[in-house]
A and B are shown apart, each in its own frame.
Chain A
Amino acid sequence: MKNTEKQKMNEAPAQERINNFSEVALGYNEEQARIEAQRCIQCKKPSCVAGCPVEINIPKFIKEIASGEYSKSISTLKEKSNLPAVCGRVCPQETQCELKCILSKKGNPVAIGYLERFAADYEMKNKKDSLPVISVKKTQGHKVAIIGSGPAGLTCAGDLARAGASVTIFEALHKSGGVLSYGIPPFRLPRNILNDELNYIKSLGVEIQNNIIIGKTFSIEDLFAAGYKAVFIGAGAGLPVFPGLPGENLCGIYSANEFLTRINLMSADKFPESDTPLNIGSKTVVIGGGNTAMDSARCAIRIIKTRFPDIKPEVTIIYRRTESEMPARKEEIEHAKQEGINFEFLTQPVEFINNGDGFLSAVKCLKCELGAPDSSGRRKPVPLKNSEFIIETNTAVLALGLKPNPLVPQSLKGLKTDDEGNVIVNPETAQTSIDNVYAGGDIIGGEGTVIEAMGMGKKAAKSIINVYLNTH
């Protein structure tokens, strides 16, 4: 008889995990994975696949787990996804594959993400005896340049390498992975998992050159002059939005990108063993309601616990709408609550208050109510008159969204962008307004998800393969 309940994944207890940056979700063991995999009814026309931006053959890899053929399941995953250990962890499955699972109509969908993660982790742990067989065509010598080593670039690079191209990724930072490295904290994506995934991409023959800023160190024209046949821009949405509020440049106020970069990329949590500092007070507010806000708040509580073991941390998320409008993943909101993070909903900051020495002492806020739906389709928060109140705090993290990084687009004459700075591409081919230049991921449309970026990287790779590798 089949279990109808979804297998729960073990998690580190909230009161323990806020003392460190270790992974929160602990993964399925073999027994759990097989029980969960057996819940899949193996639909003839599986709708889950259509919910996956990279169209993984979900029923097949799940069947392979159910029958204990774990190395086969990882091969099935890797036919489509170049980063299964990442996606199994950070994809919002509830709005993608699992949303479309037929079982979700009557109860819990199959835990596709957990199973993907199980297969990927199993492979990493047992590498020696279960190396997946991935066909890499003999290189045909066509050089393709990828700008950015985030999810879009890594995926595009992986697919191109497998098709026989000679691929070089140019990464501006000293570490690779883009948002996977500087943005997503280790308690959601452990660094050894990311390194293993990066090593896998390199094992396909992809070269990653760090500390190369396209638009500065080299131009795209330089890349063509150096013999690259095509260029994929996956430079991401790296430009933080500041609200333009009075006091926003006081000390103690960080963009979420700065806050997370200091911690995740520069290991400020290990200061002074690492050299990058982070100034944080025991009271911290995070402004915003997306995953970046959740990551920032959860990083904050961990650092405060370590720095001030005798003081109760007070971390508060300030959001203009209500919990149901929050763009963050439900699971992450839940994790944040378990970890003791407070939420101030229907609250809009209007001013940051100086303590007299140029440091933040409080945030002045207004209460809001929800009005008519705005252009985003969500109900617009309307500040209420005379509702002013003060939240005392030493640190504020602004997680108000990101715009496409303009360094690459501005450096290429004739590259068309929209008013927001997004690179315009043909949605069918991922080609930009310039021949041989393709783009995907957040550089073409604000902040998407990791898997959406990967889907666009795949699409661009397909176009590049069709145009250059198959016909030239």
Chain B
Amino acid sequence: MNKILEKRKLAQDTTLMVIDTQPISAKALPGQFIILRTHDNGERIPLTIVNSNPENKTITIVFQEIGKTTKLLGRLNTGEYIHDLAGPLGHASELIKYPNKIVVIGGGVGIAELLPVTIGLKNAGNSVAGIIGARNKDLLIFEDELRKTVDELHVVTDDGSKGQKGFVTDALNNIINNGGTPENISLVYAVGPVPMMRAVSVLTLNFKIKTIVSLNPIMIDGTGMCGSCRCTINGKTKFGCVDGPEFDGHSVDWNELQTRLGQFKPFEKQSLGTI
């Protein structure tokens, strides 16, 4: 169990791993995540399950090497083992048929997390438009897979090196305004960095379009016992790991989430400096 069967670089600092884990692969649904540890003194970090294959008894994760733990994870090679792996955690996405079109939006490594939900929504019989965005063309991942899945795909890059220059919200604005009226969009689903999910939610609130976001607060156990991942949703304290990770984007206290995500910054930097 926990053996790395495949490792592939998707972009600079972004890595895909296929891991042998029968129990998790048998249960995992789109929208869920795992918690892992790379070594005995290691910390526990959450990562989204990008794909689960019960037949092969595998799950797939995609991560960006941004701190000590993700860098150590990136150093593990095919044939090696993940020290601790637990899941699937969190609620699964609600994959139902909506009356009108859905827009799914992925930013950066969030594009990988978007893929299983998009496939699920498509399989539920929805008409789906996709928007993927990254800083530049080299950071775009899963473009082909998404293009095969959705009815239309819009690509945006901050620097214009591929697709439309700008942000995912620019593309979303176009879809809302050029594709007819806001009324013919049933749902916007967004996953990516907090500023991006926030900007999407601010935009869709203007048009009163239902918006679901997949939040990424700091977690430890991932089973609801500590509240490290708590977020304010509609004025109430909720736990990202057990009540989420998906929430109504219009109900999230974004300032709080962004601040809480930064609360260990100096420590993270110090920790990274030890490798």
Contact = CB atoms under 8 A, between A and B. Distances in A.
Contact of A217 (B27, B68, B270, B273): B27
A357 B268 CA distance: 19
Interface in A249-291: 249, 251-252, 254-255, 257-258, 261-262, 266-267, 270-277, 279
B75 to A, nearest CB: 14
Interface residues of B, number: 44
A272 B274 contact: yes
Contacts of A406: 224, 242
Size bracket, chain A contacts: 35 or more
Nearest to A410: B242
A174 B38 CA distance: 12
Nearest to B85: A211
Residue among B224, B225, B237 with most chain A CB within 10 A: B225
B263 A213 contact: no
Contact of B267 (A252, A261, A279): A279
Given A216-B89, A249-B232, A174 B223 contact: no
A134 B124 CA distance: 58
Interface string B234-250: 00010000100000000
B264 interface: yes
A276 B89 contact: no
Contacts of A405: 223-225
A217 B87 contact: yes
Given A174-B37, A261-B225, A276 B43 contact: yes
Interface in B211-232: 220-221, 223-228, 230-232
B154 interface: no
Contact of A274 (B41, B84, B227, B268): B41
Contacts of A270: 41
B84 A211 contact: yes
B240 to A, nearest CB: 12
Nearest to A273: B41
A358 B43 contact: no
B259 interface: yes
Contact of B89 (A213, A248, A254, A257): A213
Contacts of A257: 225-227
A230 to B, nearest CB: 21
B270 A407 contact: no
A249 B220 contact: no
B264 to A, nearest CB: 5
B48 to A, nearest CB: 15
B88 interface: yes
A210 interface: yes
A210 B225 contact: no
Contacts of A258: 220, 226-228
A122 interface: no
A261 B221 CA distance: 9
Contacts of A218: 23, 27
Contact of A276 (B220, B242, B259, B262): B220
B3 interface: no
A275 B225 contact: no
B41 A275 contact: yes
A172 interface: yes
Interface string B2-21: 00000000000000000000
B256 interface: yes
A213 B227 CA distance: 17
A217 B255 CA distance: 33
Interface in A378-424: 405-407
A173 interface: yes
A407 B224 contact: yes
A240 B86 contact: no
Contact of B87 (A173, A216, A276): A216
Contacts of A240: 225-227
A468 interface: no
A358 B41 contact: no
A217 B37 contact: no
Contacts of B227: 240, 242, 254-255, 257-258
A358 B264 CA distance: 13
Interface in A82-135: none
A271 B268 CA distance: 11
Contacts of A173: 221
B271 interface: yes
Contact of B260 (A212, A217, A251, A407): A251
A155 to B, nearest CB: 21
Contacts of A359: 259, 263
Contact of B27 (A210, A211, A216, A358): A216
A242 B84 contact: no
B225 A238 contact: yes
B237 A248 contact: yes
A141 interface: no
A359 B265 CA distance: 13
Contacts of A242: 227, 230, 237
A270 B256 CA distance: 28
Interface string B39-55: 00111100000000000
Contacts of B237: 242, 244, 248-249
Nearest to A174: B84
Nearest to B45: A275
A405 B222 CA distance: 12
Contacts of B169: none
B226 A275 contact: no
B225 A239 contact: yes
A239 B238 CA distance: 12
Contacts of B242: 406-407
Contacts of B267: 271-272, 277, 279
Given A239-B225, A266-B220, A358-B260, A216 B41 contact: no
Interface of B: 23-24, 27, 37, 41-44, 68-69, 83-89, 220-221, 223-228, 230-232, 237, 242, 253, 255-256, 259-260, 262-264, 267-268, 270-271, 273-274
Given A174-B83, A211-B84, A211-B86, 11 more contacts: A172-B223, A217-B27, A239-B225, A251-B263, A261-B220, A272-B271, A275-B41, A276-B220, A279-B267, A357-B259, A407-B224
13 contacts: A174-B44, A216-B88, A217-B23, A251-B262, A254-B227, A270-B41, A272-B274, A273-B41, A274-B42, A276-B43, A358-B255, A358-B259, A359-B263
